[in-house]
Amino acid sequence: MAKSSAVINSIASYLPEKTLTNHDLTKLVDTSDEWIFTRTGIRERRIAADDEFASSMGAKAARKALEQAHLSPLDIDLIIVSTMTPDYLSPSTAALIQRDIGATRAAAVDIGAACSGFVYGLTMVKAFIESSIYSTILLVSTEKNSAFVDYTDRNTCVIFGDGAAACVISRDGHGLRIKTTHLGASGEESDLIQIPAGGCRLPASSTSFDDKLHCLQMNGKELFKHAVRRMEEAINICLKAADVPASSLRWLVPHQANIRIIDALAKRFSIPEDRVAITIDMFANTSSSTIPIALEKLQQTGQIASSDLVLLTAFGGGLTWGATLLEAT
């Protein structure tokens, strides 16, 4: 019997209504639209309302993805949620989404791979489906970064935005087939991007609160150096496993952390600008949600044709990185 494939049957995003522009940020910190746009490619980002959370945004994206796939929540066997901004340390955001959408048959688990979480999630989904452990999986990336960003720190507050996306992935069927995938990590550089307080190492205290240690801290310059190299490495391994040359790629859907990182990466694989999915200008860095949001926006243009090869690549805290090759069926 031929081996089953994992196929992304549907993909949907949820972006909060409120827009925070670069101009708005100039009222909060010493920055300019010119600096932010030329150094990052960002024009604006979405910010979740006070009563919106990782779980509620994820549930909205999930309902849309299920509708598109013509499935009921009861068809879902497993919910995997990627988030670095969960509603709670415990319970998992996946359990909350399972409750909110009524997927009472589904198991539920969160994964923490920061901005690489979607690619990590797809890799786990591929393994679960190809081994026939599960048939239908909901993979959700959802991030309320604004809850962890210090809006007096210009090094971080200009970069991040909020948003969610969800995919229904099933055995075979129509959509984007997961061909090959590769993941990497290096805990040696775990201090380059972190939220220092709130875990068991530095539990919440008035001091941690005063020192803003519950906010995201990042060494952007150092991360930049690792980002291109690590994603390039992952792409090469992923393409080699599929026995596909980079020249066969139709689309590149990279993590949206900085337009200069994306441009450098596309250049290394000679992928022209019009074949790279870009959403950083509108939505900034939504951590693990950037790739599924960009993939959804690309799909909505109607430009992904049957048998197109679509390469996803991610890099983020941990450090973590990865690449996944999809083929349109």
Q: How far is the CB of 109 from ligand COA (least distance, A)?
A: 23
Q: How far is the CB of 79 from ligand COA (least distance, A)?
A: 24
Nearer to ligand COA, 91 or 184 (CB): 184
Q: How far is the CB of 77 from ligand COA (least distance, A)?
A: 31
Nearer to ligand COA, 97 or 115 (CB): 115
CA gap 183, 146 in Å, rounded: 27
User: Using CB atoms, what's the residue nearest to ligand COA?
Assistant: 220
Residues paired with residue 108 on neighbouring β-strands, in sequence order: 79
Q: How far is CA 131 from CA 124, 135, 322, in A?
A: 11, 9, 21
Contact 293, 165 (CB under 8 A): yes
Cis before residue 254, ω within 30 degrees of 0? Answer: no
The DSSP symbol for 273 reads: G
Active site residues: 115, 255, 285
Q: How far is the CB of 54 from ligand COA (least distance, A)?
A: 16
Helix (H, G, I), strand (E, B) or coil at 288: helix
The DSSP symbol for 116 reads: G
Measured in whole angstroms, the distance separating CA 201 from the mean position of its chain's CA atoms is 26
CA gap 126, 137 in Å, rounded: 10
Q: Strand 136-144 relative to strand 78-82: parallel, antiparallel, unpaired?
A: parallel
Nearer to ligand COA, 228 or 304 (CB): 228
Q: How far is the CB of 279 from ligand COA (least distance, A)?
A: 14
Nearer to ligand COA, 99 or 151 (CB): 151
**Dihedral angle, C-alpha 186, 191, 192, 195, nearest 10 °:** 120
Nearer to ligand COA, 78 or 265 (CB): 265
What contacts 227, CB < 8 A, 6 or more positions away? 257, 258, 261, 315
Q: How far is the CB of 74 from ligand COA (least distance, A)?
A: 36
Nearer to ligand COA, 192 or 197 (CB): 192
Interacting residue ranges for ligand COA, rule: CB under 6 A: 31, 35-36, 39-40, 115, 154-155, 158-159, 193, 220-221, 223-224, 227, 257-258, 285, 315-316
H or E element in which residue 11 lies:
strand 6-14
